């Protein structure tokens, strides 16, 4: 089993940067594909980014491509999301998730979820 705890959210002006981190417990962290999703008020949760178990493959939603970077450190059981050039539409609760297998951009493919961290971007 994997437990996930996100941190690093907060309030930022448009154009600024934030770095989210997700700390995972469990000895099998390195075997999971890790993803970030977000949910804005009144909207469904959506895929943001994902990274393969080795870190060799990274995937991004079109809305964040070129602005966000996902990374992982298997030695420290952490996955991070560097968010640059933030926009007001990036405002959402951001969730870290772990998938043993499956499609990287589908919620149903993920087995474990964190509780989320709020990111608010002001204009």
pLDDT tens for each residue of 28-78: 888 899 999 999 999 999 999 999 999 999 999 999 999 999 999 999 999
* CA distance to 16, 17, 53, 77, per residue, from 10 (Å): 11, 10, 28, 23
- 43 touches 53 (CB < 8 A): no
Average confidence (pLDDT) over 4-20? 97
Average confidence (pLDDT) over 22-33? 89
Is 102 a residue whose pLDDT tops 80?
no
Using one digit for the tens of pLDDT, what is the confidence trace for 104-120? 999 999 999 999 999 99
Rounded to the nearest angstrom, the gap between the alpha carbon of residue 70 and the centroid of all alpha carbons in its chain is 7
Looking at residue 4, what is its pLDDT? 97
Distance, in Å, from the CA atom of 91 to the CA atom of 81, rounded to the nearest integer, reads 14
């Amino acid at each position: 089993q994997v437990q996930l705890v996100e941190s690093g959210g907060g309030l930022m002006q448009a154009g600024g940067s934030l770095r989210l981190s997700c700390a995972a417990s469990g000895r099998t962290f390195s075997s999971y594909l890790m993803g970030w999703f977000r949910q804005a008020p009144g909207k469904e949760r959506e895929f943001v980014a994902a990274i393969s178990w080795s870190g060799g493959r990274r995937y991004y939603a079109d809305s964040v491509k070129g602005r966000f970077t996902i990374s992982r450190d298997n030695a420290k059981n952490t996955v991070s999301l560097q968010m640059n050039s933030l926009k007001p539409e990036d405002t959402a609760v951001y969730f870290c998730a772990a998938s043993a297998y499956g499609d990287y951009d589908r919620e149903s493919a993920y087995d474990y979820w964190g509780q989320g961290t709020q990111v608010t971007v002001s204009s």
